[in-house]
Amino acid sequence: MTDKTTCCDHDENLGCAAALSSNNIDRRILWLVIALNAMMFGVEIVAGLAADSIALLADALDFLGDTASYSIALYVLSKPMVWRAGAAMLKGVIMLGFGLWVLTLAVLATLGLHEPDPITMGAVGFAAFIVNVISAFLVFRFSKGDSNLRSVWICSRNDALANLGVILAASGVFALGSGWPDIAVAFLIASLALWGSFQVITHARRDLKSR
């Protein structure tokens, strides 16, 4: 009897071969977006500290969280559905924690207003936006996948929106000479993370119930 769970050498198992090929493509895509997110974490954490920007620091930590989340997604890619749904649930909790942390950071920033460097904010925010648009394009194929892969798409989509906010905040800081736009975008990033965590956790629960 042919073992269809492991063998892809026969005509009747062409579906298995196609699945393995798609799996390999998914792995390469995940490795690439992991590298891009890790690189931008390093760039934004330095730039955020140099520019005294809450929004850049929040986005930097978002890149770090995404790097960890994508690594989890890669690890469980070939695991059973319960593993993949569990990983998505973990990523949803991570996103929830990140959103609450950024929300707290933004609230505290309102108590001691600052004026970040808009030039650094704008330049780094634009670079981060380009990286996230590339990442979102690469992982768009995951938008209709299981909760594990869909969470990757949700993270990349939200990150691109957050980076647009950073660019707008830089323009606002430059035009107004105030740190309020920077704080407002930190609130936006927190909101996106909290909404994304709700979506990811909801999809993960659905997958767990349907297994």
Question: What was the pLDDT predicted at 36?
Answer: 92
Tens of pLDDT along 23-53?
777 888 889 999 999 999 999 999 988 888 8
Residue 211 banded pLDDT, cuts 50, 70, 90: low
Question: What was the pLDDT predicted at 146?
Answer: 74
Q: What is the pTM of this model?
A: 0.73
Domain 27-210, architecture per CATH: Up-down Bundle (1.20)
Contact 145, 186 (CB under 8 A): no
The residues spanned by each domain of the chain are 27-210
Burial of 8 (0-12, 13-18, 19+ CB in 10 A): middle
Tens of pLDDT along 105-120?
888 888 776 678 899 9
User: Residue 159 pLDDT > 60, yes or no?
Assistant: yes
Instruction: Write the secondary structure of 28-72 as one string of H (helix), E (strand) and C (coil).
Output: HHHHHHHHHHHHHHHHHHHHHHHHCCHHHHHHHHHHHHHHHHHHH
Question: What was the pLDDT predicted at 21?
Answer: 58
Q: Classify 159 as helix, strand or coil.
A: helix
79: left (phi over 0), alpha (psi -120 to 50) or beta: beta
* Residue 198 tokens, joined: 């709700």
